[in-house]
Chain A
Amino acid sequence: MRQSEDAGLFKGYSIIPGAFDELISPQGVPRPDFLRLLELLGSRSPDEFTRIQALAERALLNQGVTFSVYSDRRGTERIFPFCLIPRLVSARDWAHLERGLEQRVRALSAFLDDIYGEQRLLAERPELRDIILGTSLYLPHLRGVRPPGGVRIHIAGIDLIRDGQGTFQVLEDNLRTPSGVSYVMESRILSKRVLPEVLEQARVRRVDHYPAKLAETLRATSPEDPERSTVVVLTPGPYNSAYFEHSFLARTMGVELVHAADLYVEDARVFVRTTRGPRRVHVIYRRIDDAFLDPDVFRPDSLLGVRGLMKAWAAGNVTLANAPGNGVADDKAVYAFVPDFIRYYLGEEPVLAQVPTYVCAREEDRRYVLEHLEELVVKTVDEAGGYGMLMGPQSTREEREDFRQRILAEPRRYIAQPRIELSTCPTWDGATRQVVSRRVDLRPYILTSPQGSWVLPGGLSRVALRAGSYVVNSSQGGGSKDTWVQKETA
């Protein structure tokens, strides 16, 4: 870094060669959009930063903003590790992302409508048949069901990374129950509390209207008059790791948080048991997986489900957000074809890039993958949270041999991608009291109603807290940052 910025908090900050740093250019100067912020933050002393970081962490703990909850009755709850140095996105970059995300959700919706309807795509491209229908996430008995309001992907969380050139690329689509949005809002509350002047001068777009927008979106897809509709959030319960978020959303939308046992179905209509008798429910934002929704249709052993719920949904009497069966569109093997879907259904070129993906179900791809295991990241299509992965460049011979056998046994379950150099962001390291560069990703949230899509200006920036790590998942030592999307300059 140049002398002028050399003082204060960012003193000695160094970037990782080959990685795109969100704040500093390869020449060591701040990117022009963010110069102001860097000065404001840089003027803080390490002492001061240690103090406000501790303050923020205590606040999170006392507020119970925790993610990993007890397996035993008194197990420790942890706060989602959190770094106060925000991640910035310029107005220009955001406008690009917004267009791309809206387009992607539109194409994925069209794909889902088709695959649960006519299946025009499969007729025209039979080679995709096995890949698309071969996932357990496709639910064939739901074919022909049109969800109330016509919306399937009410809430999407689309994971993005930035490659070495700074180009945003889609890494993964989450169209079932994407989580994390509560941390976006809690992080912002903390930023407001501990960095008020910085936030004010950085001209950041607000995120706190998300719950109101979500409630509006959910109501708009109700089978009845939105004004007279009852919306609930369905949770597996307090022992679920995302319980904080479930209660957060119910609380901030002003709707009830229900457990499956609070609901029942009669005459293909859903009711909630209250102290004053039953009350009809019209919209369910469910945070439990498809497989647990209804023991009549899915797992008979599920205690989380509501008997008859799928029948009520198919009859058009209740909205389920997101619609059951969406998993087929966020399957990691199907992901490889999303750019094709955009062209096929929309007749448009994809706005957003995505990571080249080898689908092991295809012979040609499989051969390449097996020959290049050392260079590739192999992922199991039906595992999340960074599990079931082979990081080729860091793997041992035994690990590679293990994956080779697995791929040969069940090729449909594996895909492979080149390792992308994730972008980095200055991150506070409490142990050394220094700002260090750590890799980040970004999960924006897109809400869709019959009137169209809306992208929350911000999102969950997850950060790999360990030096050298690429793994940003909270279950594997990742943390989060507040994402500051800049306002357009007037």
Chain B
Amino acid sequence: MIARIAEHCFWLGRYLERAESTARVLQMTGQLALDAELPPEQCWMPALAIFGERPAFSARYGEQAESDGEAVQNFLTWEEGNFSSLVNILFSARDNARSIREVVSRECWEVTNELYLWLVGEVGKAEYTHSRYAFYLHIRRMVQLCLGLSDSTMLHDTPLDFIRLGVVLERAGQTARLLDVHHHVLAGMNQGHLVVQTALWLSLLRAGSGFEPFMKSHSGRVTGDAVAAFLLFEARFPRSVRYCLEAANRYLRQLSSPEGQGPLGQESLACLTPLLEHLRPESLVGPEATLHALLTRMVEGTSELCLLIAREYFLKTMPLGAQLGAQVMQG
């Protein structure tokens, strides 16, 4: 497959996943603000932190605005100058899909196009104003529809492998950051607010679409350690860091299968292997081992892996390589 197209596929996957994740985090944070008796800044700040947008937001609105849920949502949904805003992410997803219109299935393209047109049209804006929850839900559903369609209407071949690779790597990074930010907040709280803490852990699970799966596998017993371990190591949960990196490993092996020429993809695989080896509960045992250190390693490792994939597969010869997406390949 053409290297340029592989790159568009990869970024289509990443942007779709990022849009879903952004909509989900905002949706859940809005719910949390209703459930937990938390100071508003502890509610909304994490949403900014997960996407690495705290500094940009503060520079624009001042630090005290972090308690203003409307300002945060507006920034993460509509802000033109914010590369991580939904409007920019969905534009980029659609732009990538359009560039490879002949590669993605018609169904998949139409959903991406429709979602973007909905967002920037009258209907999307009205939904945002009148029914915030439904607004985020619509975005999540359309993205899921698109990913589901890509799976059921495209050849299971290289282009789809690259889309999926983009999805799982984006997802691994998001889950790791989500956990890291929330864990950080929780660690800074006084012990003893068990009810509040539980609400936060539940919200974290919901933000990771993991509430029901977690309850099923833990018979309803919620503890901080169990939630963290679930989001990191649970091999059966499709948003856990391990699940995503194992899937990435599978796609990368498929892409570098022996019929290829030379050692294509070997560096990417070499980068991924130690990450997978560290993804086990034992990594958290020992005097120097902390959850934060492990998560940092995962976030940075995933980001490095993405750069290697770009170097190995996308060849970086084309001017399109400098597309918007490359700038927001955040750690």
* A residues lining the B interface (CB < 8 Å): 61-64, 74, 238, 243-244, 247-248, 250-251, 256-259, 261-262, 272-277, 303
Given contacts A257-B101, A259-B318, A276-B264, 5 further A-B pairs with CB under 8 A are A62-B113, A238-B99, A262-B2, A262-B318, A275-B264
Stretch at the interface among B12-20, B236-244, B255-263: B255-263
Chain B residue numbers with a CB within 8 Å of A272 are 2
Interface SS majority for chain B: helix
Min distance, Cβ A392 to any Cβ of chain B, angstroms: 42
Cross-interface CB contact of B261 among A74, A259, A277, cutoff 8 Å: A277
Knowing A64-B113, A275-B1, A276-B264, the reply to whether A251 touches B91 (Cβ < 8 A) is no
Min distance, Cβ A490 to any Cβ of chain B, angstroms: 35
For A303, give the chain B residue with the smallest CB separation.
Answer: B319
Cross-interface CB contact of B4 among A248, A250, A259, cutoff 8 Å: A259
Interface centre among B95, B98, B315, B320 (most CB of A within 10 A): B98
CB atoms of B259 and A61 under 8 A apart: no
Min distance, Cβ A272 to any Cβ of chain B, angstroms: 6
Digitize B8-52: 1 where CB-to-A-CB distance is under 8 Å, 0 elsewhere.
000000000000000000000000000000000000000000000
For B8, give the chain A residue with the smallest CB separation.
Answer: A238
Knowing A74-B91, A259-B318, the reply to whether A275 touches B102 (Cβ < 8 A) is no
For B162, give the chain A residue with the smallest CB separation.
Answer: A275
CB atoms of B110 and A63 under 8 A apart: yes
Chain A residue numbers with a CB within 8 Å of B113 are 62-64
Interface membership of B158, Cβ < 8 A: yes
Chain B residue numbers with a CB within 8 Å of A259 are 4, 318, 320
Knowing A63-B110, A276-B260, A277-B261, the reply to whether A261 touches B158 (Cβ < 8 A) is no
Interface residues contributed by chain B, number (CB under 8 Å): 31
Min distance, Cβ B84 to any Cβ of chain A, angstroms: 17
CB atoms of A247 and B110 under 8 A apart: no
Chain B residue numbers with a CB within 8 Å of A275 are 1-3, 6, 158, 255, 264, 313
Knowing A251-B102, A261-B319, the reply to whether A62 touches B1 (Cβ < 8 A) is no
Knowing A275-B6, A275-B158, A275-B255, the reply to whether A257 touches B102 (Cβ < 8 A) is yes
Min distance, Cβ A277 to any Cβ of chain B, angstroms: 4
Show 30 residue pairs from A and B whose CB-CB distance is below 8 angstroms, ordered by the A residue.
A61-B117, A63-B109, A64-B98, A64-B109, A64-B113, A238-B95, A238-B98, A248-B101, A250-B102, A251-B101, A251-B106, A257-B101, A258-B2, A259-B318, A259-B320, A261-B4, A261-B318, A261-B320, A262-B2, A272-B2, A273-B3, A273-B317, A275-B3, A275-B6, A275-B313, A276-B259, A276-B261, A276-B264, A277-B261, A277-B264
Interface membership of B114, Cβ < 8 A: yes
For A264, give the chain B residue with the smallest CB separation.
Answer: B317
- Complex alpha-carbon distance, A257 and B1, angstroms: 11
Chain B residue numbers with a CB within 8 Å of A238 are 95, 98-99
- Complex alpha-carbon distance, A262 and B99, angstroms: 14
Chain B residue numbers with a CB within 8 Å of A64 are 98, 101, 109-110, 113
Chain A residue numbers with a CB within 8 Å of B102 are 247-248, 250-251, 256-257
Min distance, Cβ A74 to any Cβ of chain B, angstroms: 7
For A64, give the chain B residue with the smallest CB separation.
Answer: B113
CB atoms of B264 and A261 under 8 A apart: no
Knowing A251-B102, A262-B3, A262-B4, the reply to whether A62 touches B313 (Cβ < 8 A) is no
10 tightest Cβ-Cβ pairs between the two chains A and B: A251-B102, A247-B101, A250-B102, A277-B261, A261-B318, A247-B102, A62-B114, A257-B102, A276-B260, A64-B113
Cross-interface CB contact of B2 among A63, A248, A274, cutoff 8 Å: A274
Knowing A247-B102, A256-B2, the reply to whether A273 touches B114 (Cβ < 8 A) is no
Min distance, Cβ A188 to any Cβ of chain B, angstroms: 16
Min distance, Cβ A442 to any Cβ of chain B, angstroms: 28
Min distance, Cβ B30 to any Cβ of chain A, angstroms: 27
CB atoms of A273 and B315 under 8 A apart: yes
Min distance, Cβ B43 to any Cβ of chain A, angstroms: 32
Min distance, Cβ B6 to any Cβ of chain A, angstroms: 5
